[in-house]
Each structure stands twice: as C-alpha cells, then as structure tokens.
Structure 1
Amino acid sequence: MQDMSNTDSQISKLHSIKYFTPARSIVEANSLLPKVAEIVEKYTKALMTWKKDNDTLQHASDSLWDLARVAALNSDKTNTWDSAWNFAWKEASQAARNNYGWYGSEFLLGETARDSARDAAKYAARYAVFEAVKEKLGGVNPFEYLIELYAMGLRPTYFRKVDEQEKFVVDFPLIVNGKNVIGCYLHGDSEITFTHQWIDYCTHLTPVNNPESKRSFV
C-alpha cells in the first residue's frame, strides 16, 4: 500500500510554488545570483554521484528519472509522479498565460506556454518520484534543488555546453524597459548579461550592456 502521507507532503510542497513570478528588474535578479549559484552547485554535486565516465550531467539527470521511476514501480508508488505532473502542468501553464499573456505583438500560448509547463511538470514529477524512494537510492534528492529554484519564481532549464564546458541554465522572468523578457543566466555568470524573448530558448540573445557580447550554446 502506498504511503499517502508522503505523497501528500510532496504535493503540498509543490502547491506552495508560484510559477514564474515575480518578474524582476535586472538589479533584483542579479542580487539573487549568489543564492542561485549555490543551489545549482548543490544540484550538480548531487548528480555527480550518478554520472558515469564520459557521460553528461544532463544525461545523468534523465537516467536518474528512469531509475527512480522503476524503483517507485517496484515499491507500488506509481501515482507519485502522476499527481506531481498533473498539478505542476496545470499551475505552470496557467501562470505562463496569466502573467505573461501579452507582450509586444506576441501572445504567450501554444508551444511557449506548453514548453514552460512541460519542464515544470517534468521536474516536479522527478522530484516526487525520487522523494518517494530516496531511501533506496541514497537519501539525497537532486531534484529538490530545482524545485527550490521554481519556488523562487525562476525557470530552471538544462545543462548546455558553452566553450566545451557543461553548465546549467536558469531563466529569470524580467521586466526590462516595461517589457517582459527572460534573463539568461549561465551558471558561473556574475551578472545577467543576456536576455531573450519568452518564445525563444537560449536563442536570439540580446546583450544587456555590451552590444558586442556574444554567446552560443550547444
């Protein structure tokens, strides 16, 4: 029989999240970077336990989801990720539309809202299913750190390669010159130096200060 109190506790933690809010100024966002860097470092360290030689951290994250899901199935805790996924999907998609519906001539729906909600639901499900079986898998839940970033109103994304180094990217909902944009934070940045539109993902980057600045992701 499933431990419903544990499942309720997981969902309760997810219920407290206000996805993608508030939209901050760049100055406010930059003040959060030390804390964000600390959280990302903890997430990275937790994944290193599961990373195989010559593998990537992103693949370790994806593989860990499969491992935790199998452990949950074997422990008769199959509803843990469904509950988390469904709740996060609903709340994140509504937040994306309600808070950033119109900007410029674009309406935030379709693929943009869907992708934002899908990532939120994916990480919520990974958090919940690992939490349900974490004693069997070592007791440290890497995905709790991503939930912490969501609780700050941010949008954790993926590990990307920049200059042959794998680094985690976190999107910051921002208001710049009265418009809603995304601040693109790459772990290790001392400040947010690039922004992009909600409909873009690490593409069409606009430098914040230096017009000559460039960055490309793999």
Structure 2
Amino acid sequence: MPFRTTPAPQRESLQQLAQSQQALGQWKQAVKSWQTLLKAFPGDVPALLGLVRSYLQLGKRRAAQKYLSLLLQAEPQHPEAALLSAELQPQAALEILLPAVAVHPLHPELLAAIARACGAAGRHEEAVFYWRQMLSLSPDQAQAWLALARLLLQQGELAEAAEAFDKAVVCDPRLRNDARWLDLDAGWQALEQRLSAQAEQLELSALLNQPQNQEN
C-alpha cells in the first residue's frame, strides 16, 4: 500500500480561517491559525500582520513586537507595519509615521493616524492638514469629520467647524444624538456667544470713542 502524505495547507483557506476568527474576536484561535500559515509559508506578510494584531488584542506586547520585527525585516516600508509600530510605541508615533506618510502619501489610515498623533501633541494646524488630506481620499468617514470639526472649533473657525460637522452627520445621522456631538455643539455655541459678545464690546467701545460733534 503506497504511503499517503497529508497535503500542505493552502494559503488562502488558512488566511480566511484566521481572518474569520479575528472578526469573531477569537484571538487565541487566530494566533494558532496565523502560526500554522507562517510555518507553511515562512515570511508570509499577512500572517505576520495577523500575529501582531492578534497578540496586541491579547495584551501580549512582547510577542507582538517579535513578529513586528520579522515583518519589518520582510517589508520595511509596509504602511501597516508603521501603524502597528506607532501603536506599540505611542511616544514615538510622529517619528514613525512621518517617514511612512512620505512614502505612502495616499494611505488614509496612515494619514488618520498621523492626524491623531499631531492632535495629541498639540500640533493642531498639522492635525487639521492631515485630516483634510485623509478626508479627500475617504470622504465617508464620519469620525474623521467629527475630529476635524473639533479641531476647527478649538481654532475658532466656526463656519468650517459647522461644515465639517454637517458632513459627519451626512455620513452618520446618529451623531446628532451622540454625546460627543452635544459636547461639540455646546462648545460651538459657547464660542459663538463669546465672539458675539466681543464684537458687541468692540462696537460699544468704538461708539464711546467717537469724537463728539461740536456745535458751531
């Protein structure tokens, strides 16, 4: 009787299995599936990405860093590798993401990540720039429009903030009843009232400082 060998696992079927496990939040099972795929196909980029993501979800940062290092060896300029590196090293996010955006200027997720990092660092003008870049590529992202609206509101750009929020609501009408929108709306109204009061004060000062008409 001839010896029968087990057929090698197929890349696509293993990848689909691991992805479905990730979608269901079955991270431990996903790790096993990705490791099986990586063993069958050493250096497989989707498997390395999957392992980094899965280990991050499990809170195993050391294991995630190990597979991220392998990923960077295989694909040093991979955009998702930069995103994962920034997630593992948030204190160095801008240093990691800026070079990556220079290589991949049309990658929406990278642009969103660098916009968030700029905002967290207090670099609001740059954050606005990157959110606008990201939204020019993916205009249907409600949360991105909301983030842009918040930044514009902080800068006192009421009309632009209102426009950005309107676009967020078009993408996701539920935002009108969202607590984050209520906060934004309250801030918007407060700023509008403050600017209106300042304008009235300036107008009053101008009237008081006008020279009195002298009678001949």
- Band of TM-score, shorter chain: under 0.3
Larger-gyration structure (1/2): 2
Which structure has more helix as a fraction of its residues? 2
Question: As a proportion of its length, which structure holds more strand?
Answer: 1
User: Which structure is richer in relative contact order (CA contacts within 8 A, separation 6 or more)?
Assistant: 1
| TM-score, normalised relative to structure 1 | 0.23
